[in-house]
Structure 1
């Protein structure tokens, strides 16, 4: 049994962009964190670190899951603060990418790092063994590289790079901490320049730049070709370079040129003349407002090399190439790309070919298995399939023959041969037995580190299949399943974006009944994001436009009945939420015995945006919680204010922690950082509740409400907003009705009501709003454009 790494306190050395954001994410995860930098020349000695912490609130996307966490980070400097290291269990160095600076810092801190603590460098490509060389003997076995990708809160990848001297137990402990506490996907990389993610990712960008120039394509055309059209992020190639910074890009390319002199592709490791020209002009991308792209007013312009100026961006896929990319069979798609004479198709084939060639040639040097490469590129660069998966899906043998043909014909970027293992009769590098490792000449299964037992469905690579459990019950809306021998059942929705229709409602009620009869508990969990985008608007609009008000009312009543069935189930129902949980999806989790949220959960009651109010019991629960928080005779209105603003403004939380502030999550709800562990934790919560003698809450019959005084006070706020033209008359109408339901209707302040009273109010006001033409316009507009209409 390896020793556990217990991290109560951590230090981050270097308060630059990466260092400050790593400190922020450690703090998100509840780790007491000290952020170090150089002493400030003027003002307080910790000024540089203090400024970096203050700046975290301005960054987008937000590094902190809750802005208030900034004050938990402790600022320090290397002159007066090194004693603070003595209490740390983990020290992460994240200063500038210079070997001499890093080594100097290690000499300075070595005596302060405790005997048990782990020291890790967040270098993106410097030699880990060279860095370890300056450390005292006692620290070397506790040192390794850990490379976070930017932005560290959101990018799943963390590369773990052992030095020759690193103790395996230290690595296993650090891997466990990265996976569970920080929510990362860990890939082991060998100590080679740029490791795995940037070695392959940057090469793929260099290949795209080379073929852009060779075929004379526009930068925006290349971005149209290398984005979602081939399963990659919208930022594609040149937009990504703008986000990363063209100076950073040039620096990374130079690092490859300096550190990989014997790479057969070395001649391409130089920044193209046009990249150098942009850098020398100070056009460094997003941070300077101009790079390959710039914005003028609302227009996006792109650099045109011939005109030496920015021109309106019009880069589009040629219709024939776009059609070809829609082909679902990868083998047919690749054959068509290679055969096409069109420069755009030739560009894509050449980029794929050279990236496959490079990745296969270097696999043995940079990684233990092909899985490590594919996951590093997916998690670090956002590709839907890694390079080996793409190749294998397109037909391994055929593509290998084509690459070999192009190498012999002098069309590939380098004439290095493909490794022998590519042609040993294999159909690919991933299979049921694992993924190929050239060093072991075998298919290697996934890691045996116990932390992965928490992932019932890990992120699969091509060819991996995980048991879907035994189906217990299924209809057109839901599937309920269980693992053999387990006493907690799981139910998930089968609709697009997990929206809620009558099949889902009926299915959930049925699932709760089966769970009460046959199981200890029930978890509502979706195999993929989102948790639920809310009610099926198209179905609801159909009923309204067809004049079927009775059918519409029945659907609303059924929605409320489902929420109540979840709440009053005799066995605990636990919601496992990640991604969007909007409208009805949010209401279901509000009624669960407990919710387990992935950190990246975006939760909101957003019905106001489509001209409606929440009517699946959400407003009823908010009124009930306000009454409970106020206590007998207390100020209910004060407890309602945040909830009213959240609902009337249709606010969506930017994290699970923020959902608590918006009153959409409870203090007792659980937040997990690794979405792949969500199901495991939710089942454990359900089992824990059941084993401790769970009983549902007693029906709430004495809910104290704010009444007519509450409605009047909310209305005063709304009138000011209406007169200031911050809201439209229809917004005012919707918000007034939200206020009316939350306040328990036009009754005396302090009146007590029951849940049925509040549910009836929800239904009445929901149905009244739904029949208004302006609401129907909003619903139709949202269905057509995906955006809210402010009418």
Structure 2
């Protein structure tokens, strides 16, 4: 049994960009964290760290899940604060990439590190064994590398790099902590420069740079080819380099050149002249306002090497090549790329060929299995498939033969031979049994560490499938299933998990079945988002056909579904991740409990399309305000907290912020690992059931803010209208929202019930929906995905 790593307090050494953000993420995860740096030369001794903490609030995307968490980070410096290390269970060093500086720091802190504490270096390319060598004997077995990707809150990958002296139990404890507490995907890397992610990822960028020049293509053209068309992020290759920083790029390339002299591709490990020229001019990419790309007004400009100047970035993938890339079958696609004489197709084949060649050649020295390489690239670089998965999907044997032919013909970037295992007649490296390990010459299954039992559906690599459970009920909108553990799960089948008539009917049926045959019900989606809200296309169709009655019936059915969730006789738990907008937000508001992934973007956004929440969302906010105020209390003060959230269609930027906005409840759970969400939601449902769950009593005495509430909200809105913060139509929508929240034009303090509020919601929703401006807003959102201000 591996030792459990109990982390009550952690320290991060180094308050630079990475260190401060790692400290922020530990704090997000509820870990009491001390952030260290050098003592400031003037002002307070902790000045360097205080400045770094203040800066966290300015970074985008935000490292902190709530701005309020900044005050939880304890600042310290190496001159006066080292005593604080004694109480730390985990210490992460994240100072500049200089071996001598790191070694000096280790010598300095060693006397203050507790006997049980784990020390890890967040280096991206320095040798872990070389760092371990300077540590005192008693620390070496508790030291390893842990490499977070930037930005650490959002990037799923954490590479764990053991030194030859690291205890296995220390690694397992840290792997478990990183997975559940910080929500990371952990991959073990060998102690080689740049580890796995950057070794393969940066090589892919270098190969792209090399073949861009060979094929004479523009940078914008290459980005059009190496983004979503090949299953990679929109920022593709050169845009990504701008975001990372061209100086950082050059540094990583230089590290490869300095530390990998024996690599058969070594002559390619150099920054091209144009990159050095941009850095020389201070055009370092996004942070400097210009790099390979720059903005000129609304136009995106790109560096053109022929003219040595910027031109409009307007080159696309050629129709012929885009057509090849849309080919469904990967084997056919790669065959066509290789045969095509189009320079863009030749370029793509060459980039993939050299990536496959490099990955296969180095697999044995950088990783245990092919799975580790594929997951590192997917989680660290956002590719939909890793290099080995891409190769295997395209037909392993045929592609291997083509690579060998190209090497023989001198077309590849290196003449290094493919390893013998590549050509031993295999069909690939991944199978249901596991993934190939050259070191062991066998397939290795996934880790059996207990933490992975919490992932019912891990992130699969090619060839892996997981049992989908036993179907209980299914229609065109939902599938309800179970694992024989007494808790049923219902998932939506619609695009973006929008709420259609079939979803509404399916949910009501699922609740009825759960009440009869199960202890609880979890609403969970296998992939993000949780739900993008009501099916606007269907709704707009009914309105434009003049079927107002059918439209109103749909709204009533929506409300009935929310109420069915709320008053189910078994606990219904919503497992939210990604977007939970409009109706998606309302369903989780009505559930017995919500279990939300940290990256949950929750909002009642109907105002953005000229509507108001009418799936019971406003009713629920009014009920909560009345309960919070208590008999005879100030309901308006409670309503005011959420009014702006709804009227401005605010969406939370994290599950923590959703609590602050009043869209999640104080006792709703926040989970850090997306693949553990289902496990925790089922555990919550079971715990509620075991405790003798009863639904809440119907709310029949809801205190209304009434006419006084409406007038007070109107005063707020008049100021916003006069200051031109909102349009006249925004004002009308917000007034209707205020009217429903306040319980209508009735006496302040009057008591109403849920049906009264639901009828108000419905009436105002249907009236707004028939307005020309609302229909224009809905149409614009469906067409462009952006809100229209009219």
Shift of residue 315 of structure 1?
2.1
Shift of residue 54 of structure 1?
0.1
Q: How many aligned positions are there?
A: 790
SS of equivalent residue, structure 2 residue 436: strand
SS of equivalent residue, structure 2 residue 624: helix
Query: Paired residue for 1:385?
Result: 385
Query: Paired residue for 1:191?
Result: 191
Shift of residue 180 of structure 1?
0.2
Shift of residue 729 of structure 1?
1.5
- Measured in 1, the distance between the counterparts of 2:71 and 2:770 equals 48
SS of equivalent residue, structure 1 residue 597: strand
Equivalent runs, 1:676-687 vs 2, <5 Å: 676-687=675-686
- Measured in 1, the distance between the counterparts of 2:671 and 2:725 equals 37
Query: Paired residue for 1:120?
Result: 120
Equivalent runs, 1:62-211 vs 2, <5 Å: 62-211=62-211
TM-score scaled by structure 2?
1.00
- Measured in 1, the distance between the counterparts of 2:269 and 2:727 equals 57
SS of equivalent residue, structure 1 residue 58: coil
- Measured in 2, the distance between the counterparts of 1:372 and 1:56 equals 32
Shift of residue 502 of structure 1?
0.7
Query: Paired residue for 1:571?
Result: 570
CA deviation string 1:285-304 (max 9, x = no partner)? 11111110111222111111
Query: Paired residue for 1:22?
Result: 22
Query: Paired residue for 2:555?
Result: 556
- Measured in 2, the distance between the counterparts of 1:2 and 1:250 equals 41
- Measured in 2, the distance between the counterparts of 1:686 and 1:5 equals 28
Query: Paired residue for 2:583?
Result: 584
SS of equivalent residue, structure 2 residue 139: helix
Structure 1 runs of 4+ off > 2 angstroms?
none
SS of equivalent residue, structure 1 residue 634: coil
Query: Paired residue for 2:428?
Result: 428
- Measured in 1, the distance between the counterparts of 2:514 and 2:426 equals 46
Query: Paired residue for 1:4?
Result: 4
- Measured in 1, the distance between the counterparts of 2:375 and 2:638 equals 46
For the pair 1:643 / 2:642, whether they are aligned, the reply is: yes
Shift of residue 2 of structure 1?
1.3
SS of equivalent residue, structure 1 residue 735: helix
Equivalent runs, 1:173-572 vs 2, <5 Å: 173-483=173-483, 485-572=484-571
CA deviation string 1:147-187 (max 9, x = no partner)? 00000000000000000000000000000000000000000
Larger mean Cα displacement after TM superposition, 3-12 or 298-307: 298-307
- Measured in 2, the distance between the counterparts of 1:312 and 1:42 equals 47
CA deviation string 1:565-601 (max 9, x = no partner)? 0000000000000000000000000000000000000
CA deviation string 1:339-359 (max 9, x = no partner)? 011111011000000000000
- Measured in 2, the distance between the counterparts of 1:197 and 1:63 equals 22
- Measured in 2, the distance between the counterparts of 1:297 and 1:425 equals 56
- Measured in 1, the distance between the counterparts of 2:722 and 2:97 equals 55
- Measured in 2, the distance between the counterparts of 1:689 and 1:134 equals 52
Shift of residue 724 of structure 1?
2.2
SS of equivalent residue, structure 2 residue 57: helix
Shift of residue 309 of structure 1?
1.2
- Measured in 2, the distance between the counterparts of 1:323 and 1:292 equals 27
- Measured in 2, the distance between the counterparts of 1:235 and 1:744 equals 48
CA deviation string 1:431-474 (max 9, x = no partner)? 01000001111111000110000000000000100000010000
- Measured in 2, the distance between the counterparts of 1:253 and 1:286 equals 19
- Measured in 2, the distance between the counterparts of 1:748 and 1:148 equals 57
Shift of residue 725 of structure 1?
2.0
SS of equivalent residue, structure 2 residue 187: strand
For the pair 1:668 / 2:667, whether they are aligned, the reply is: yes
Shift of residue 786 of structure 1?
1.1
CA deviation string 1:640-696 (max 9, x = no partner)? 112110000000000000000110000000000000000000000000000000000
- Measured in 2, the distance between the counterparts of 1:527 and 1:294 equals 38
Shift of residue 723 of structure 1?
2.0
CA deviation string 1:507-566 (max 9, x = no partner)? 000000000000000000001100000000011111111111110110000000000000
Shift of residue 423 of structure 1?
1.2
Query: Paired residue for 1:750?
Result: 749
- Measured in 1, the distance between the counterparts of 2:91 and 2:156 equals 20
Shift of residue 219 of structure 1?
0.8
Query: Paired residue for 1:782?
Result: 781
- Measured in 2, the distance between the counterparts of 1:537 and 1:244 equals 38
- Measured in 2, the distance between the counterparts of 1:191 and 1:546 equals 66
Shift of residue 94 of structure 1?
0.1
SS of equivalent residue, structure 1 residue 789: coil
CA deviation string 1:484-526 (max 9, x = no partner)? x310000000000000011000000000000000000000000
- Measured in 2, the distance between the counterparts of 1:316 and 1:780 equals 28
Shift of residue 726 of structure 1?
1.8
- Measured in 1, the distance between the counterparts of 2:59 and 2:490 equals 38
- Measured in 1, the distance between the counterparts of 2:218 and 2:276 equals 17
